[in-house]
Amino acid sequence: MAEYNAERQAERAKTVRLKAIREAKEAEEGSLKGSGARSKSPGLTLSPDDPVAKPRKKAPGGKK
């Protein structure tokens, strides 16, 4: 029984530690958004010259 209680206590301590880490990370991300700072992954932006951004022309005869 003592081993069971020790495992539960260790699990609770780990959960508290991980929750604190997560909340600190979320607070940091929230402060970055509020300050106008750029995040690590700004997202995909395509320039007009990018070949991926241009629509493809259909092949003659309606085949792709």
Rounded mean pLDDT of 26-36? Answer: 79
pLDDT value at 31 more than 60? yes
pLDDT value at 39 more than 70? no
Higher pLDDT, 25 or 43: 25
Q: How far apart are CA 51 and CA 32, in angstroms?
A: 33
Q: How confident is the model at residue 33 (pLDDT cuts 50, 70, 90)?
A: confident
Q: How confident is the model at residue 32 (pLDDT cuts 50, 70, 90)?
A: confident
Looking at every residue in the chain, the average pLDDT score rounds to 76
Residue 23 backbone zone (phi > 0: left; psi -120 to 50: alpha; other: beta) = alpha
